[in-house]
Structure 1
Amino acid sequence: MPASDARLVLLRHGETTWSAQRKHTSRTDLPLTELGEAQARAAGLVVKSLDLRDPLVFTSPRLRARQTAELAGLADIHVDDELVEWDYGDYEGVTTAEIRETVPGWTVWTHPVPGGETAEQVGARADHVLDRAEPALADRDVVLVGHGHFSRVLIARWGEFAVREGRRFAMSTGAVSVLGYDHGAHTIWAHNLTHRTEGDLR
C-alpha cells in the first residue's frame, strides 16, 4: 500500500537542438545543448527541494534523459527501456507545422502516426510503467526521467484520463511534475515546475 505522502516525480529532459526547433524526437539520440545542461542542473534543485524519501530513479535509455538524470544529481539510477518517447515513425525529425501542410489540424494526440506507435500502444506502455512503479511507493518516492509526450501520457493515465487528455499538460524541457495521492485517490500535486517556479503549486 503506497504511503499517503508518496510522490511519483516526472522529469522531462533538458533542451536538445531538435526540441529547440520543435522537431519530433523519439529514436534519434541527441545530447543536451548547453542550455539543456543548465536546465537539468536547475531541475535538480527543484527535485532536491521536494525532500523525497530515498528516491528510486528510472531513466529512459536515450542520452538526453540519462544526461539530465546525472546533471540533476540523482542517485540510484536505473535505465528503463519503457520510458522512451512516443515513437513518431515517419514523423521523426518533422515539426507539427510541417506535418499540417499535408494533414491539416494534425496532433499526436488526435491523429495517426504513420510507422509509429498508436495512442493505444503508448497508453498501454504508460500503464505498465505506472503499474511497476506504484508498489515501490510504499517505502520510497520514485522519479521517472523521460520525455515530453510520454511524460504527459503518464500524467493523463495516472489521473485516469484517456491518453488524448495528455494534450492538457504541456511540459517544458527540464520541468518537473509531481504525482501522488489525496485521500487514496491518484492526484496531480504540481505540474511543469522549473527552478523559477520552485514551490509554486498553483
Structure 2
Amino acid sequence: MFIIVRHGNTFEADEQPRRIGARTDLPLTAKGVEQAKALGMFFAARDWQFERVLVSPLLRTRQTADEIIAQMPCAPQKEAADFLREVDHGPDENLPDNEIIARVGQDALDAWERDAQVPPGWKVEPEARIAAWQELFAAEPASDSPTLLVTSNGAARFAVLADPRLREAAKALPSLKLPTGGFGIVIRGGQGLVLEAWGKRP
C-alpha cells in the first residue's frame, strides 16, 4: 500500500495563494502544521506502521513528514526522493492563478489539473516522473507495511498516470489535484494496482 500525501498549507488565510514550485521553498503555516499532525493521528489511529517514508527535499514536505511520523510509535527515517520534488512553473513560478491564466489561458490550466498536460514554459519532465513511480510500484515490497510518500500537488498527480488501471480510475476524478493536507491511497490488488482513495483529508 502506498499513502501519497500533499504537504500542508503554506499560505495564511488572508494571503493570495500562488503557484509555488521547485524554486520556492516556503515553510508550513501554523494551519499547515495542524494539517500534518491531523494526518499523523489519522494514520496512527489505523495502526499503519510505515515500511518507508519517502519525502521531497523541499522544506514544506519535510516538515509535513516530520509532523506525521511524530504521531507514530515507531517510524523509519525519512528518505529524500527527488522525483517527489514539486514541478518548476517556469515564468509562472510564485504567481497567482489570475496572472498565469492571463499568460497561458484558462484551458491550459484546466488541462493541467485534469490531465497533467504541461502548460507552456513549465519544467515538469512527465516521462521521468512517471518512470520513477512505475519503478516504485514494481519493486518487490520487503513487508506488507505501507509506504508513505510526502510530496506536492504537481508531483503527486503522476502517481495515477503511471499505470493503466490507475489512469482509468483517475478519469472519474474531478481533478488530479490533491488538496493541502490531503492524501491518496494506491494498493496492490490481485489484478494489479488499485486507486483506493484520492483527495481525502482526515
Query: What one-letter code is carried by the residue in structure 2 that aligns with 1:33?
Result: T
- 1:94 maps to 2:100: no
Native 8 Å contact 2:130 2:161 kept in 1: no
State the partner residue of 2:19.
Answer: 24
Instruction: Specify the code of the residue in structure 2 equivalent to 1:104.
Output: G
Q: How many residues align?
A: 185
Where does 1:72-91 land on structure 2 (aligned, <5 Å)? 72-73=68-69, 75-76=75-76, 77-91=78-92
- 2:156 and 2:39 mapped to 1: Cα distance? 15
Aligned to 1:129, the other structure's residue is in SS state helix
Unaligned runs of at least 5 residues, structure 1 = 1-6, 196-202
Residue 54 of structure 2 corresponds to which residue in structure 1? 58
Contact 1:46–1:176 under 8 Å retained in 2 = no
Whole-angstrom distance in 2 between the partners of 1:176 and 1:156: 16
Distance 1:157 1:22, change over 3 A: farther
- Give the counterpart of 1:44 among 25, 40, 48: 40
1:111 Cα shift? 4.8
Say whether the 8 Å CA contact 1:127–1:154 is kept in structure 2. no
> 1:160: Cα distance to partner?
4.6
The structural deviation recorded for 1:43 is 0.9
Q: Tell me, yes or no, if structure 1 residue 192 matches structure 2 residue 199.
A: yes
Deviations 1:35-56 (A, max 9, x none): 0000000011222234335421
The structure-2 alpha-carbon separation of the partners of 1:49 and 1:122, relative to structure 1 and needing over 3 Å to count, comes to farther
Asked if the contact 1:90/1:113 (under 8 Å) is kept, the reply is: no
Please, what TM-score do these two structures have when normalized by structure 2?
A: 0.79
The structure 1 residue matched to 2:65, chosen from 41, 46, 69, is 69
Aligned pair partner of 2:147 in 142, 147, 164: 142
Q: For residues 91 and 98 of structure 2, what CA distance do their matches in structure 1 show? A: 15
Residue 61 of structure 2 aligns to a residue in which SS? helix
- Structure 1 partner of 2:9: 15
Partner of 1:161: 167
Distance in 2 (CA, whole Å) between partners of 1:25 and 1:136 is 34
User: Which piece of structure 1 moves more, 51-60 or 77-86?
Assistant: 51-60
- Give the % identical residues: 25
Instruction: Compute the displacement of 1:171 (Å).
Output: 1.2
CA distance in 2, matches of 1:133, 1:186: 8
| C-alpha distance in structure 2 between counterparts of 1:187 and 1:132, whole Å | 15
Does the CA-based 8 Å contact 1:178-1:189 persist in structure 2? yes
User: How much has 1:86 moved relative to structure 2?
Assistant: 1.6
Secondary structure at 1:17's aligned position in 2? Answer: coil
Gaps of 5+ in 2: none
